Structure 1
Amino acid sequence: MDFNNQVYAVVDVETTGKGLGGNRITEICIVRMKEGEILDKFTSLVNPQQPIPGFITQLTGIDDHMVADAPLFSEIAVDVLRFFEDAIFVAHNVGFDYNVIRNEFRRLDVDFSSKRLCTVRLSRKLLPNKSSYSLGRLCHSLSIPLDNRHRAEGDTDATVILFQRLLSLDDDHEVITEFLKVKSKESTLPPHVPKAHFDQLPSTPGIYLFKDQSHKVIYVGKAINIKKRVLSHFYTKKSKSYLMGQEMHHIDFEETGNEAVALLREADLIRHHYPKFNSAQKKPRNTYQIISYKNQRGVIQLAVAVSKSFDYSVITFYNRAQAVEKLEWMCEEFHLCPRYCSLQLTTGRCTHYKLRNCEGICTHEEEVDYYNEKVLKAIDALQNDKPTFIIKEKGRHPEENCVVLIKDGRYQGYGFVDHDIPVSTIDECESYIKRKTPNYHTHQIINTYLRKNEMRNVVVLDQMTA
């Protein structure tokens, strides 16, 4: 590339601020440059054809009255295209301005495309160790005048001076050449996170956390390949990924060694942090329990109840249909009464369409003590049906195993154990695991794993030596 004759178009836009898809331009400024010298400037207010929110007016000073007689974007589109002709698109946080302008052209059925450079990312590379790379603070630290802040022309003029400084620091164009390579993806990465942080991500299974400027978790994800999955968020054109990238300042990760524990850890962290950009796994899920209690006659009754905890719970389910199915099994297997199992609403004899082996407790033909013995046997059978087992999976490195413990049918947690340490009993396993709280999502993850793997890597309690 002949950088001596290369033209750059330095851009800033002000918008209505209604998310990426509904964001319309209210003001635009473009400066064409070559060899560090300004060739031409275009600036204009733009009628966004929608109301400007109050908080945007407070920030920019642009209100509905100011843009009422301004041209529509369609009326200045030819001039805008002319300024970008044969030029590299340059902006401070280029992803924002580029996507907003490209979407305006899409509304006109124009396919706008340009090579682009981000002065935020260039500054991180050429001006390292600055406390902040926002345009205001960066200009202050470099003594660059920034007049008329948050107006397109004022911000563009400051960005032009900043870009001129950056060009002088890269006189052999080595950095710019690297940034412009198709495979570099520099312009697509979040502007506030150094590329080195992405380069340091491992290509192993685990979870990753995106955090905002105050280190608040805004997204949790799981991956078979952490590095590949993280980067994929920002190679897409989806609005959610773009908006997430704008708020993202930090990345954390945890290696898990396998996908199963990555899924379990992801569920645990989403429940703990309730991240802004996670949509799945945030909706509360009811738990269903088979409970037992004595009525006024002294008969032990069974029922399905929705509750987080219950003193008389026999077993907990994360699906009501499964709870009812298990209750029907108990009723049929132990000759219980559908009425006293809450499977039928009636005050007289039970008349369940499927369960017909009641021995008469509902009509006082069966002794209460005898019936209660059957209920207790059913409860014992149900409790004995809750399996205890461990899942052995790959650890974080070849000398390590990962162990997931399910005790009495409930997920207990996971841990990592060296290959040369035997884990042959539940007591031994419990000494290594990190305790976790089971929920609907961990229940689904374990069940899906068991169906998918057909009990491979599973060691049931009966198969373990005491």
Structure 2
Amino acid sequence: MYTIIDIETTGNGIKGNKITEISIFKFNGQEVVEEYTSLVNPECDIPYFITGLTGIDNAMVRDAPTIKEIAPKILEITKDTIFVAHSVGFDYNVIKNEFENLGISYSRKKLCTVRLSRKLIPGLQSYSLGKLCSALKIPLSDRHRARGDAHATLILFEKLLKTEGSSTVFSSFLNAKSQENTLPPSLPKEEFNKLPNTPGVYYFKDAKNKSIYIGKAINIKKRVLSHFYNKSNKEVEMCANTAHLDFENSGNELVALLMESAAIKKEMPLYNKAQKKTTIQYGIFCYEDRNGVMHIAYNKIKLAPNSVQQFFNITDCRFALEKICEEFELCPKYCHLQENIGQCSHYKIKKCNGICQQKESVEIYNKRVKQALKSLQNSQETYLIKEKGRVSNEIAIVLVEQGEYQGYAFISKDEQVNNLEDLQVHIIPQKHNLDTLRIISNYVQKKPKNVISSLTSY
């Protein structure tokens, strides 16, 4: 026994969505044995754009029963039936969530007429209800009203039942181990099956093959599947717009993180929020004033010409300046730790030799400034990070040269790499930015044993 169902809602995703109308056709495979249709008072305002789409406004539902009042009827009519809907995940989860809010558990087997149509009637350009009805000459009246859409879905379902090979397809979809009803309606199962259980980057793409979300995973297939089970509004909408999947193997999590960051910045996917923009960086730089005194200062990276060192934030910049100011007995005023003063009086640093009071020569002071700058430059190390490759006979290398991320490489264990020039041939060049710096810094802190300072130890 089947119940073909359609609902109209307030349009707020899954968890915040309230039903405004429901229509149910109970179908035994031959004929409709019961029908139930009702407006529903959502007990909240219906947005104007939803009224424009469905024609259902606040006045229409004011005297309609609430979901609590009709819950017993829905439970009774759908008991021991298979829940059928076009894009079943949406209707089923909204109803299930409404029942959960009432403290009622709701569980039914499900069938999706979008996925069934893709399997049994392949090759159509679109599997939306309107386009399917047009292609199959199914009458569709009262579009975007529950009864009109449910009745059209019923006729479609009857056609699918009578299609050659339907019994095998229906059985496979209803198999408890089947993922058919878990996958997004527009995503062919073959797209999911091709995903590996390895580390890397995965791409959710729309019908035009444009990336709408990019993520990284230690296990690509498992992580992608978790998106399909996530019922947050963003995830449901994203999955509904997913028609293709793609991936790149990385061999390890570090390279996956770096690949993900670069791909997001390049493709700017709709559903990625983080890493689209590089957060403002700060840099330490040096300049000479009209009196010939060398200043060490910090500013946003765009305003810091030829910065000696880059930092995540102002706090880190000031900390580094305080450190070299004290170590090299520099003046806090000329290190811009104090502004708009005649003489320095830094509360931490008391080692100024008097350049701000003309008690020390510019030449001697500048000499120590140059030593401090050299110290900062030398702190920008060149090193490698060695990680697992994509296959057993391969290693992955991440190259950081003078503090800047250069890129990564996948190198056969049989390959002879004796110096930096040999390595450069294999490196896939990448852009250095705050996000890559953060990713690599975090990794180095957690796994210092994988950091190599010279090629000889590699």
Length-normalised TM-score, structure 1? 0.93
In the superposition, relative to structure 1, how do residues 283 and 51 fare at CA in structure 2: closer, same or farther (>3 Å)?
A: farther
| CA distance in 2: counterparts of 1:377 and 1:80, whole angstroms | 79
Report the counterpart of residue 215 of structure 2 in structure 1: 221
- C-alpha contact (below 8 Å) 1:204/1:257 kept by paired residues: yes
1:153-164 alignment, distance < 5 Å? 153-164=147-158
Cα deviation for residue 464 of structure 1 reads: 7.1
Match of 2:226 among 217, 229, 232: 232
| CA distance in 2: counterparts of 1:462 and 1:125, whole angstroms | 54
Cα deviation for residue 399 of structure 1 reads: 3.2
Match of 2:18 among 24, 29, 35: 24
Match of 2:406 among 395, 402, 412: 412
Report the counterpart of residue 107 of structure 2 in structure 1: 113
| CA distance in 1: counterparts of 2:320 and 2:445, whole angstroms | 19
1:326 equivalent in alignment to 2:320 = yes
| CA distance in 1: counterparts of 2:107 and 2:455, whole angstroms | 64
State the SS of the aligned residue for 2:162: helix
State the SS of the aligned residue for 2:77: helix
1:196 equivalent in alignment to 2:190 = yes
Identity %: 49
Cα deviation for residue 312 of structure 1 reads: 3.8
- C-alpha contact (below 8 Å) 1:318/1:440 kept by paired residues: yes
| CA distance in 1: counterparts of 2:39 and 2:187, whole angstroms | 32
- C-alpha contact (below 8 Å) 1:294/1:300 kept by paired residues: yes
- C-alpha contact (below 8 Å) 1:424/1:464 kept by paired residues: no
State the SS of the aligned residue for 1:22: coil
Match of 2:30 among 30, 36, 61: 36
| CA distance in 1: counterparts of 2:30 and 2:388, whole angstroms | 55
Structure 1 window deviating more from structure 2 (206-215 vs 158-167): it is 206-215
State the SS of the aligned residue for 2:59: helix
1:152 equivalent in alignment to 2:142 = no
Cα deviation for residue 87 of structure 1 reads: 0.7
Cα deviation for residue 172 of structure 1 reads: 7.0
Report the counterpart of residue 9 of structure 2 in structure 1: 15
Structure 1 window deviating more from structure 2 (380-389 vs 282-291): it is 282-291
State the SS of the aligned residue for 1:19: coil
Report the counterpart of residue 203 of structure 2 in structure 1: 209
1:252-267 alignment, distance < 5 Å? 252-267=246-261
Cα deviation for residue 187 of structure 1 reads: 1.4
Report the counterpart of residue 460 of structure 1 in structure 2: 453
Match of 1:352 among 339, 346, 349: 346
Match of 1:338 among 327, 332, 337: 332
Counterpart amino acid of residue 399 in structure 2: L
| CA distance in 2: counterparts of 1:312 and 1:153, whole angstroms | 68
Report the counterpart of residue 283 of structure 2 in structure 1: 289
| CA distance in 1: counterparts of 2:380 and 2:169, whole angstroms | 61
Report the counterpart of residue 185 of structure 1 in structure 2: 179
Counterpart amino acid of residue 277 in structure 1: Y
1:238-253 alignment, distance < 5 Å? 238-253=232-247
Match of 2:54 among 26, 41, 60: 60
- C-alpha contact (below 8 Å) 1:335/1:358 kept by paired residues: yes
- C-alpha contact (below 8 Å) 1:33/1:40 kept by paired residues: yes
- C-alpha contact (below 8 Å) 2:404/2:432 kept by paired residues: yes
| CA distance in 1: counterparts of 2:251 and 2:100, whole angstroms | 44
- C-alpha contact (below 8 Å) 2:15/2:231 kept by paired residues: no
Instruction: Give a deviation string over 1:418-462, Cα, whole Å, max 9, x none.
Output: 333322322222222222222222112111211222232x33247
- C-alpha contact (below 8 Å) 2:418/2:456 kept by paired residues: no
Counterpart amino acid of residue 236 in structure 1: N
Cα deviation for residue 180 of structure 1 reads: 1.7
Match of 2:417 among 399, 419, 423: 423
| CA distance in 2: counterparts of 1:344 and 1:172, whole angstroms | 79
Instruction: Give a deviation string over 1:24-65, Cα, whole Å, max 9, x none.
Output: 112111000113321111111222222222222222222223
In the superposition, relative to structure 1, how do residues 463 and 228 fare at CA in structure 2: closer, same or farther (>3 Å)?
A: same
In the superposition, relative to structure 1, how do residues 309 and 253 fare at CA in structure 2: closer, same or farther (>3 Å)?
A: farther
Counterpart amino acid of residue 373 in structure 1: K
Cα deviation for residue 395 of structure 1 reads: 2.2
| CA distance in 1: counterparts of 2:303 and 2:256, whole angstroms | 27
Structure 1 window deviating more from structure 2 (363-372 vs 20-29): it is 20-29
State the SS of the aligned residue for 1:392: strand
Unaligned residue ranges in structure 2 (runs of 5+): none
| CA distance in 1: counterparts of 2:226 and 2:32, whole angstroms | 37
Report the counterpart of residue 433 of structure 1 in structure 2: 427
Counterpart amino acid of residue 460 in structure 1: S
| CA distance in 2: counterparts of 1:225 and 1:433, whole angstroms | 25
In the superposition, relative to structure 1, how do residues 172 and 126 fare at CA in structure 2: closer, same or farther (>3 Å)?
A: closer
Cα deviation for residue 239 of structure 1 reads: 3.7
Unaligned residue ranges in structure 1 (runs of 5+): 1-6
1:27-106 alignment, distance < 5 Å? 27-106=21-100
Report the counterpart of residue 3 of structure 1 in structure 2: none
Structure 1 window deviating more from structure 2 (22-31 vs 315-324): it is 315-324
Length-normalised TM-score, structure 2? 0.94
- C-alpha contact (below 8 Å) 1:292/1:302 kept by paired residues: yes
| CA distance in 2: counterparts of 1:306 and 1:201, whole angstroms | 42
| CA distance in 2: counterparts of 1:210 and 1:308, whole angstroms | 34
In the superposition, relative to structure 1, how do residues 284 and 69 fare at CA in structure 2: closer, same or farther (>3 Å)?
A: farther
Report the counterpart of residue 143 of structure 1 in structure 2: 137
In the superposition, relative to structure 1, how do residues 212 and 181 fare at CA in structure 2: closer, same or farther (>3 Å)?
A: same
- C-alpha contact (below 8 Å) 2:265/2:277 kept by paired residues: no
| CA distance in 2: counterparts of 1:462 and 1:289, whole angstroms | 29
Cα deviation for residue 346 of structure 1 reads: 5.5
Instruction: Give a deviation string over 1:217-254, Cα, whole Å, max 9, x none.
Output: 22211011111111121133444322221122221211
1:264-283 alignment, distance < 5 Å? 264-282=258-276
| CA distance in 2: counterparts of 1:33 and 1:42, whole angstroms | 12
In the superposition, relative to structure 1, how do residues 310 and 430 fare at CA in structure 2: closer, same or farther (>3 Å)?
A: farther
